[in-house]
Amino acid sequence: MGEPTAKDYGREASRKWSAIQANEGYTRRDILRWGALCGLAGALPMGLTGAGCSHLRALKPRHVVLISMDTLRRDHLPIYGYSRQTAPHISELARTSVIFDNAIAAASNTAPSHASMLTGLHPLSHGVRYNWAMLSQDVPTLGEILQGQGFSTGAFVSCIALHSQTTGLNRGFDTYNDVGPLPGHRRAADTFRDTVQWLDSVQKGQQIFLFFHVFDPHFPYSAPVGQTLPGWGYSGIRKGLPLDYPAMREKMRQGFSHEEIQAYVNWYDEEILYADMYVGRLLKALQDKGIYEDSLIIFLSDHGETLGERPWMFDHGGRVVEEQIQVPLLMRFPGGWGQGARINSPAHHVDLTPTILDALGLPPAAKMEGASLLPAVKGLDEGIPRFQISMAKSDPERCPEIQDIINKNQPVFAIRHYPHKLVRYPGLDDKPILRLFDLEADPMETIDLSLVQLAIAKDLQQRLEAWIRQCRTKNQKFKEKTLSPEVEKSLRSLGYLS
């Protein structure tokens, strides 16, 4: 027999709710009600507290909802300490969720990170190394697995970088609602409208897997005027500050004043507030349709954004700095199980699919590189050291401090084991350029310690090189798509092409 397909995995028997009823004597309604009461009493999941509902196990969800907000920095959300109230609906979701404080992106670009979320594999392994590269045909996706399990599957994405014809991420989705090349992106309002229409079309009682993606915090930062009322006040007239990406790049080369940088930051925060409004409306729609309480709801972002911290700003990609690879991650389990817990264990985009399958009682596909986060949520994390790896596509212009010594359009890697982080850039002579940082002492990654802490640098480099070799032995095909003039124009306007 050949290797099992994604649909074979989906058809494998899952744990049955009836067994829980028989063994425990509880109804599903009892468990949901008790979980909510324990949450009000401040109970945490088993292993995180010894009182309250520690005997209750996490319920198997009937539905899975994955919400991704593009280009969202973790540190621009109130739940991660931001002073501005940029996301009241995400904060409300967090109140009954488990919050992960150490989640890292697979890449600092949109398509590779989302492909990792949906496959449990790193970009080198699933084939979508960069934007507009195709998913390898033999890689099983979460959509295919859940489709094989009988779920109705729908994806609603908001930018050209996730288009089915340039990524192949539509595999396993009954409905894959994407965006054409002009203008190449859409507002959260439009994505929400199409999503609700799909929810209305799903037969009552049918299990669903919904992937909902909003793009608004991505440049250009231009939230619809008057639709949100930010508490920090509007930043005034946009005169002289371009919102066209090529024009903004030219202005950046000339230099921004502190006031101009703050204006862009204000507009970025307004975009978060606007997108959050539609996250809230989606959650309300799920509640109205009786889906919310029975769902595993995951909220996260694909990557962050450099704002005013570095010479090259209002951008991402080309490098793997912390503000671009740190991502928010919330998981709301049925009945609010585990609410209030904050998990400091390392988490990664590749862990999403294994975690979802574990929650559903399904085995992960053999090829998956991520791990279920449920043990960490239950307080059963074994504490094994874990190394987090992220990547980007090199672009010397985005790295002005080393632009004369790095190669273009090659992989950039980071291996991270807090507090240390090693970055590997492609050199002009094919010899890697290494940079080692102590994130605790130097969170802005300005002091290279690779020639000072030699043993740490060597250890991390050996681990990274071994990981790269292992990924490349899988022989996943890397197929970069040829872009039409319309798609190329759209990608250039959004900063995806220099």
User: What integer pLDDT is reported at residue 495 of this predicted model?
Assistant: 65
User: What integer pLDDT is reported at residue 183 of this predicted model?
Assistant: 81
Question: CATH number of the domain at 6-377, please?
Answer: 3.40.720.10
Domain with CATH 3.30.1120.10 in the chain: 388-493
User: What integer pLDDT is reported at residue 206 of this predicted model?
Assistant: 97
pLDDT beyond 60 at 31: no
User: Which runs of consecutive H residues, i.e. helices, occur in 230-344?
Assistant: 245-254, 258-288, 322-325
Q: Flag the least confident range among 172-176, 220-224, 480-484.
A: 480-484
Tokens, residue 287: 């509640």
The position carrying tokens 């009493």 is: 41
**What does the DSSP 8-state code read for residue 86?**
-
Q: Which CATH architecture has domain 388-493?
A: 2-Layer Sandwich (3.30)
**In angstroms, rounded to a whole number, what is the distance separating the alpha carbons of residues 15 and 260?**
56
Question: Are 281 and 274 spatial neighbours (Cβ–Cβ below 8 Å)?
Answer: no
CA distances in angstroms from 199 to 192, 285, 331, 467, listed in the order given: 10, 9, 21, 41
395 closest CA partner among 309, 494, 315: 315
pLDDT beyond 50 at 341: yes
**What does the DSSP 8-state code read for residue 312?**
S
**In angstroms, rounded to a whole number, what is the distance separating the alpha carbons of residues 435 and 447?**
9
State the average pLDDT over residues 196-221. Answer: 96
Q: Compute the half-sphere exposure of residue 485: CA atoms within 13 Å on the CB side of its CA.
A: 0
pLDDT beyond 90 at 104: yes
Name the pLDDT band for 2 (thresholds 50, 70, 90). Answer: very low
User: What integer pLDDT is reported at residue 184 of this predicted model?
Assistant: 87
Question: Are 196 and 285 spatial neighbours (Cβ–Cβ below 8 Å)?
Answer: yes
The position carrying tokens 């197929």 is: 479
Count of beta carbons in the 10 Å neighbourhood of residue 78: 15
The position carrying tokens 């959260």 is: 188
User: Which runs of consecutive H residues, i.e. helices, occur in 289-437?
Assistant: 322-325, 352-359, 374-377
Tokens, residue 306: 């450099």
Question: Are 361 and 18 spatial neighbours (Cβ–Cβ below 8 Å)?
Answer: no
* Tens digit of each residue's pLDDT (9 = 90 or more) over 42-85: 333 333 332 223 334 678 999 999 999 999 999 999 999 999 99
Tokens, residue 3: 């290797």
Domain with CATH 3.40.720.10 in the chain: 6-377
pLDDT beyond 60 at 6: no
* Tens digit of each residue's pLDDT (9 = 90 or more) over 252-288: 988 999 999 999 999 999 999 999 999 999 999 999 9
- pTM for the complete prediction? 0.87
pLDDT beyond 80 at 38: no
**In angstroms, rounded to a whole number, what is the distance separating the alpha carbons of residues 172 and 143?**
4
Per-chain mean pLDDT for the chain: 86
User: What integer pLDDT is reported at residue 11 of this predicted model?
Assistant: 44
User: What integer pLDDT is reported at residue 379 of this predicted model?
Assistant: 84
pLDDT beyond 60 at 235: no
Q: 95-107: b or e for each residue (b if 16 or more CB lie within 10 Å)? A: ebbbbbebbbbbb
**In angstroms, rounded to a whole number, what is the distance separating the alpha carbons of residues 107 and 389?**
9
